[in-house]
Amino acid sequence: MHRSMDEPTGAAGAPAARSHPAPARTWAPPLAEAGAQPPDPAVLGALLLRHGWQRRGGAPGRYGRWTPPGATDAAGGLLVPESAAFPDSAELMEEALAALARSPAPSARDILVSLAVPGDEIRWRREIPESAAAAAGASGWTEAEELRSAARQILLAGALAARGRAGYHGARHRRKARAALDEVLLGPGADGRALTAYLPAASGRAIAVRLCHALHATREAVDYQRATGSMDAFDSAVAAGAGRELTEALITLVRGCEGARVDLRWAPAAGAPDGCPARPGPVEFSPGDLPALRAAGARYLRDEPAVRVRLTGAVVRLRRSGPRGAGIVRLRVLAGAEVGHVRAELDEEAYRIAGHAHLVGLPLRLEGRLESRGGFRRLTGASQVAPVQVDEAERDRLMKALQENVDFFEEACAGEES
Q: Are residues 196 and 107 in the same domain?
A: no
**235: pLDDT strictly greater than 90:** yes
Owning domain of residue 136: 117-304
Q: Are residues 151 and 180 in the same domain?
A: yes
Nearest of 30, 76, 28, 38 to residue 54 by alpha carbon: 76
Q: What share of the chain is helix, strand, coil (3-state, %, to 5)?
A: 40, 20, 40
Cα 401 from Cα 137, distance rounded (Å): 52
Lowest mean pLDDT among 8-12, 104-108, 233-237, 385-389: 8-12
Highest average pLDDT, of 17-31, 41-55, 369-383, comes from: 369-383
Among the candidates 260, 285, 304, a domain finishes at 304
Cα 267 from Cα 183, distance rounded (Å): 15
Q: How confident is the model at residue 270 (pLDDT cuts 50, 70, 90)?
A: confident
What pLDDT score does 185 carry?
A: 84
Q: Are residues 128 and 240 in the same domain?
A: yes
Q: What mean pLDDT comes out for the span 352-360?
A: 88
Question: What single letter denotes the amino acid at residue 182?
Answer: D
Instruction: Look at residue 2 and tell me if it is in a domain.
Output: no
Q: Are residues 406 and 325 in the same domain?
A: yes
What pLDDT score does 114 carry?
A: 76
Q: Are residues 293 and 146 in the same domain?
A: yes
What pLDDT score does 75 carry?
A: 59
**Distance of CA 296 to CAs 233, 289, 290, 300, Å?**
10, 11, 10, 6
pLDDT digits (tens, 9 = 90+) for 272-302: 888 889 889 999 999 999 999 999 999 999 9
Instruction: Look at residue 190 and tell me if it is in a domain.
Output: yes
Q: Domain tally for the chain? A: 3
Instruction: Look at residue 43 and tell me if it is in a domain.
Output: yes
What pLDDT score does 203 carry?
A: 84
Q: Are residues 157 and 41 in the same domain?
A: no
- β partners of residue 311: 366
Q: Are residues 136 and 256 in the same domain?
A: yes
Instruction: Look at residue 17 and tell me if it is in a domain.
Output: no
> Higher model confidence: residue 186 or residue 76?
186
Q: Are residues 235 and 270 in the same domain?
A: yes
- Is the distance from CB of 280 to CB of 264 less than 8 angstroms? yes
Q: Which CATH number belongs to the domain containing residue 365 in this structure? A: 2.40.50
**Distance of CA 185 to CAs 36, 181, 194, 274, Å?**
22, 9, 14, 24
Lowest mean pLDDT among 105-109, 216-220, 229-233: 105-109
What pLDDT score does 283 carry?
A: 97
Q: Are residues 135 and 105 in the same domain?
A: no
Lowest mean pLDDT among 47-56, 94-103, 135-144, 162-171: 135-144
Cβ-Cβ contacts under 8 Å for 122 (sequence gap 6 or more):
151, 154, 155, 196, 197, 199, 208, 211, 262, 263, 264
pLDDT digits (tens, 9 = 90+) for 185-200: 887 665 668 898 989 8
Three-state SS at 52: coil
> Higher model confidence: residue 94 or residue 263?
263
- Is the distance from CB of 272 to CB of 278 less than 8 angstroms? yes
Q: Are residues 163 and 299 in the same domain?
A: yes
Instruction: Look at residue 28 and tell me if it is in a domain.
Output: no
Q: Are residues 258 and 352 in the same domain?
A: no
